[in-house]
Structure 1
Amino acid sequence: MLEIIGVDIAPLLASAGVIGVILGFGAQTLIKDYLSGIFIILEDQFGVGDIVDVGPVVGTVEEVSLRFTRLRDMSGVVWYVRNGEILRVANRSQGWTLAIVDIPVDYDSDLDRVRDLIEKVAIDMDEDPTYDDMLLGQPQFAGVESMSGNAVVVRVTAKAVPEMQVQLVRTIRERIKLAFDRAGIIVPVLPPQQMTPPMEPRRQ
């Protein structure tokens, strides 16, 4: 009909084809997002309040819908991540998380004494109901983690209640520091990290 009145329909057909392709890709993306959202919810991969790593961002889950997941990172920034873009998930809030505490001690310190003091702190914390809301079992002395120019670094690990990992690390560090102070164990001051200034472009 349009051809009869002199209208070239070829550009219209081409435009319709392009629009159809665009809509097709959009529908594919939408379907992928919804299917991923269904599996996230059915498999209980994560839920509101969990701390998760979904690749581009690590944060606390604030909303899980069929199409997207809303996260708030440690800086307070809110992220909207399409469920179809979530290829892998690290859930830091399922069951328990691992608290890792590295403590520097002086080279002249008796490591056997250091271990005994740390294990005494670990036993006391495990038996104290005050820490039941953050600690799952007795902290463990893992041994010497590394040696630097002026210190030997020993490591302590503990299973933490989800979302209490940071608080538990601070508490263990504080308890060990107090025990070291009473026993005369020196905790050396580590040198500050030196930042290399950016090189200026060479003038011609």
Structure 2
Amino acid sequence: MKVLIAIIIICVANVTGATQVVLKNVNYEGIVDDLIKEAQEITIRTANALQLQYKIIVVEPTNQVDSAVQSIEDRREESPKCVEVKDPDVQIVVTSLHDEINVCGAIAAKTSAGIMNDINAATQQIVFDGYDVLKLYQKCKNYKNSILKSSCYAKLSVKVTLYIKNSRRSINTIKGANHRVPAVFSEADECTHKAADLAITELDDIHTEIVSCINENK
């Protein structure tokens, strides 16, 4: 809201020529704060979305396989020998799963890094350009000479208008990055869960063989 009001005030000032008088009333700190806060909120949502996707893609399938491995491990008390003979097979399945997850996640991780780089660049524009706006604003306020002050505020009106325009573009970039998250991970999600399903099937087969071994040796 502060940004919209500022745009209106700047437009009025430029039209009426009352630049010095009107632009003194613009809340420059509020403009910069609002834009930074908006960018931060979207960035946090994007980071949370990336974290959630990581859990879905990597943590969930890994936990499912870990449960299958644990069910085999629970049989060790019943028959250490029956389980021990299958330890190499279990290790092969688990290692293969980890390799598959690494392959599945490689592209997603790279794209995820690209998303965060885009967000960082956009955020830096909003923060550092905002700092420049406020620095010029302080300079304008400190001028005692009315001509210099008026000239400074005229420059400030141009600078803040460009800042708002560029910051809106940066915020749209951040929003766009947020919308890219689900699409980035959909393929990796399918890949890791498919690998986990295969691993669980193989571990279930191993478990069945262990149970048969235990029953035969009772």
Name the TM-score, length of structure 1 as normaliser.
0.29
More strand by share: 1
Give the greater-gyration-radius structure (CA): 2
Name the TM-score, length of structure 2 as normaliser.
0.28
More helix by share: 2
